[in-house]
Chain A
Amino acid sequence: MHEVTVCDSLLDLVEETARKHNARRVAVVRVRIGEISGVVPELLEHAFEILAPERNLTRNASLVMDRVKPAAHCETCGKDFEPEEYIFICPACGSGRTRLTAGDELSLDRVEMEV
């Protein structure tokens, strides 16, 4: 969903980081994509292949994606579980008082640059 917009925002952030460190070019961009973030990794990769070369700093950059599986925590019984198919009811005690602890990330993790 909107991988092109997301990629654009990603490259803005990468450029900002590169400029802060006076880099000559960016070699590697590493991102974390949660499996329920709504972003399809393959589409982000395609967008990156098209958009990164359009910016001088990222013209030769490669993208590495770490996918994060969804995880949740039950506030009633304390169980940590992996929600199956978006079911957020605790499998141990049936409580609905659960919260997502991982899986919706969409973040720029690290940038490797030539300074």
Chain B
Amino acid sequence: MCEECGCGEGNQVVDVGEDILRENLKFAAHNREHLDEHGVFSVELISAPGSGKTSLIEALSDHLGGIGIAVIEGDIETARDAERIRAKGIPAFQLTTGGACHLDARLVHGALHHLSLDGVKLLFIENVGNLVCPAAFRLGAHQRWVILSVPEGDDKPAKYPRAFREATVFIVNKADLLPHMEFDLGRVNQEALSLNPYLKAFTVSAKTGEGIPELAEHLRSSLKISG
């Protein structure tokens, strides 16, 4: 018996070379295709619970007049977030995982069957509040935003590297609390950018509206580029 890998004689060895999370990747690719076919640009939001994902969508929607928006909400339980979005006149579909701590591409695929994309140009997918697990499960969105709020502390990027590496936009939310917290904006941005030099960083307050017009402008440019 081979000592290196335990193989025995007479056995057939097959080289496979397949990603173990292949099924999720397949669904993610399918979701992206579906969105592209309908001319929809999609943004996935990930963060710890309570960082302000839903509030950010609400705040942005006030600056995106004329752009058809839809939202897929992800939570373990309740439809609270979808209800908030619908109260703003935006169609929302709530996914409840019942226990799973992250959305996966198959769940989003299911949601897309229940959401009309007629007239929709922008789809937000709000993941379950969690800075760990969502990172590894691509949903097929065009852009992934990672959000960190001021009360969470400025040392988080290095503690949750994958979440920051798998995103293209980094948003510090609750900037209105900066005067009351020991949060070093320079430090957090430097740390996030050394993990992922391609991150576009924004500092906002969904509550006061600070920084929201700039973020909305980024979205509008992204929409234009995607055609």
Binding site for B on A (CB under 8 A): 1-2, 6, 9-10, 12-13, 17, 21, 23, 27-28, 30-31, 36-38, 62, 64, 85-89, 95-98, 106-115
The CA-CA distance from A28 to B19 in the complex, in Å, is 17
Residues in B whose Cβ lies below 8 Å from that of A23: 12
The CA-CA distance from A31 to B7 in the complex, in Å, is 14
The CA-CA distance from A80 to B132 in the complex, in Å, is 28
Residue in contact with A1 in the complex, picked from B23, B132, B197, CB distance below 8 Å: B132
Q: Are A27 and B16 closer than 8 Å at their CB atoms? A: no
Tally of contacts, chain A with chain B, CB under 8 A: 102
The CA-CA distance from A114 to B205 in the complex, in Å, is 61
Determine chain B's interface SS by DSSP, over half rule: mixed
Residue in contact with B136 in the complex, picked from A2, A28, A30, CB distance below 8 Å: A2
Tell me, rounded to whole Å, the shortest Cβ–Cβ distance linking A44 to chain B. Answer: 10
Residues in A whose Cβ lies below 8 Å from that of B133: 1-2
Given A86-B161, A106-B21, residue A17 in contact with residue B14 (CB < 8 A): yes
Does chain A have a CB within 8 A of B196? yes
Residues in B whose Cβ lies below 8 Å from that of A111: 13-14, 16
A-B contact pairs, 18 of them (CB 8 A): A1-B132, A2-B136, A6-B21, A9-B22, A9-B23, A13-B22, A27-B11, A28-B11, A38-B135, A86-B158, A86-B195, A88-B165, A95-B197, A96-B194, A96-B198, A106-B21, A112-B8, A113-B12
Residues in B whose Cβ lies below 8 Å from that of A10: 20
Q: Are A88 and B17 closer than 8 Å at their CB atoms? A: no
Residue in contact with B6 in the complex, picked from A27, A38, A110, CB distance below 8 Å: A27
Residues in B whose Cβ lies below 8 Å from that of A27: 6-8, 11
Which B residues from 9 to 49 make CB contacts under 8 A with A? 10-23
Does chain A have a CB within 8 A of B225? no
Does chain A have a CB within 8 A of B220? no
Q: Are A108 and B194 closer than 8 Å at their CB atoms? A: no
Q: Are B20 and A87 closer than 8 Å at their CB atoms? A: no
Tell me, rounded to whole Å, the shortest Cβ–Cβ distance linking A25 to chain B. Answer: 10
The CA-CA distance from A21 to B66 in the complex, in Å, is 56
The CA-CA distance from A97 to B196 in the complex, in Å, is 9
What residue in chain B is nearest A37 (Cβ atoms)?
B136
Residues in A whose Cβ lies below 8 Å from that of B90: none
* Most chain B beta-carbon contacts within 10 A, residue among A6, A88, A106, A109: A88
Q: Are A106 and B13 closer than 8 Å at their CB atoms? A: no
Given A9-B23, A28-B6, residue A109 in contact with residue B194 (CB < 8 A): no
Residues in B whose Cβ lies below 8 Å from that of A109: 15-17
